[in-house]
């Protein structure tokens, strides 16, 4: 990877976080509310990326034909858990 991108790319810290108090008080796991968040690091900056965001990225890669097609049944199951907007991802190829 090019050196000029080193400070722009985030890497995983290997930590996944879920708000246990909300989970306990809210009557169990509700994916739209209780999704996992993955801790990322970019330089000295630490931030969280939600599982739903990763699903959207995965859907985009699928639309770009960068990964094998995932079954519609699986996507519908994920949409029922995390929201239909993950199905609305569009990819429009741009000329470089």
What pLDDT, on the 0 to 100 scale, is given for residue 1?
46
What pLDDT, on the 0 to 100 scale, is given for residue 87?
94
Spatial contact of 77 and 66, defined as CB atoms under 8 Å apart:
no
Residue 96 domain-assigned (yes or no): no
Residue 93 domain-assigned (yes or no): no
Predicted TM-score (pTM) of the model is 0.77
Residue 78 domain-assigned (yes or no): yes
Residue 47 domain-assigned (yes or no): yes
Burial (0-12, 13-18, 19+ Cβ within 10 Å), 59 = buried
Residue 95 domain-assigned (yes or no): no
Q: Over its length of 96 residues, how does the chain's per-residue pLDDT go in tens digits?
A: 455 566 789 999 999 988 665 556 666 666 666 778 899 999 999 999 989 999 999 999 999 999 999 999 999 999 998 889 999 999 888 765
What pLDDT, on the 0 to 100 scale, is given for residue 26?
62
Residue 94 domain-assigned (yes or no): no
The domain of 30 spans 3-88
Specify the number of domains making up the chain. Answer: 1
Residue 82 domain-assigned (yes or no): yes
């Amino acid at each position: 990877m090019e050196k000029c991108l080193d400070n722009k790319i985030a890497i995983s810290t290997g930590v996944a976080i879920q708000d246990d108090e909300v989970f306990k008080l809210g009557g169990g796991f509700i994916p739209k509310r209780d999704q996992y968040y993955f801790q990322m690091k970019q330089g000295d900056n630490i931030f969280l990326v939600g599982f739903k965001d990763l699903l959207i990225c995965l859907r985009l890669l699928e639309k770009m034909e960068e990964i094998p097609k995932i079954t519609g049944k699986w996507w519908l199951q994920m949409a029922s858990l995390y929201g239909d907007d993950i199905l609305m991802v569009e990819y429009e190829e741009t000329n470089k």
